Amino acid sequence: MDSNTGGDDETGGGLGDEETGPERRCVVTGAVRPKAELLRFVVDPDAAVVFDPGHLLPGRGIWLSARRDVVNTAVAKRLFARAARRPVTVPTDLADRVEGLLVRRTLDIIGLARRAGQAVAGFEKVCAELRGGRAAVLVAARDAARDGRDKVRALAGSLPVIALFDGAELGAVFGRDAAVHVCLSPGKLARRLVDDAALLAGFREGGVQAV
């Protein structure tokens, strides 16, 4: 149980979601960033802290920079209770739960793109899309062999490259044992994937190279 009280401000001064504006302040670092670049948490009716990846849950938002160490600091220093101004319950493995939800969310985006005909997997197909200028983002399995990975990345040029998933995770999206190379066509889903992958990059090994 977390029982500290107090509060940290949003960019305009109060914590509540009634505050307007596109930016919020991380309650750990004090950094002010666009909401899309931060993690939002709320306190549910049972006084438990819940991660809100879609920024949809009702209640006052508690905002953190998208990094594992920041979430762990908020838990260790009881900053959620301070921000909420009341006792709250915070799971000790909150950072792992955040990572799991972000992984699911990003892989779901790739799945949506596949079903919409906006994502392909496989070395030859991905290379063809890249050569034809029909790709907006490249997803490379982080456990891929270096030679093949480097060949595909060279074709990607300045496109965003996401290397946060294992081949088995990507393969599950395409109904196969593994997928090493994936690319998405330009559009809303590709933009969402880059944005959400940037959040996930603070929680697992790999990386996002974005322009």
**Chain centre to alpha carbon of residue 46:** 26
What pLDDT shows up at residue 209? 72
Q: Where are the domains of the chain?
A: 23-92, 96-209
Alpha-carbon span 177 to 200, nearest angstrom = 23
Contact assessment for residue 101 and residue 53, using Cβ atoms and an 8 Å cutoff: yes
Four-point Cα dihedral 144, 150, 155, 159, nearest 10:
70
Domain 23-92 in CATH: superfamily?
YlxR-like (3.30.1230.10)
- pLDDT for residue 152: 94
- β-bridge pairing 207-209 and 161-163: antiparallel
Distance CA 78, CA 203 (A): 20
Q: What pLDDT tens digit does each residue of the chain (211 aa) get?
A: 444 333 334 433 334 444 568 999 999 999 999 999 999 999 999 999 999 999 999 999 999 999 999 999 999 999 999 999 999 999 999 999 999 999 999 999 999 999 999 999 999 999 999 999 999 999 999 998 888 888 999 999 999 999 999 999 999 999 999 999 999 999 999 999 999 999 999 999 877 775 4
Nearest to 85 by CA among 13, 5, 9: 5
Task: Look at residue 14 in the predicted model and tell me its pLDDT.
Answer: 38
Q: Which fold is adopted by the domain 96-209?
A: 60s Ribosomal Protein L30; Chain: A; (3.30.1330)
Amino acid residing at 27: V
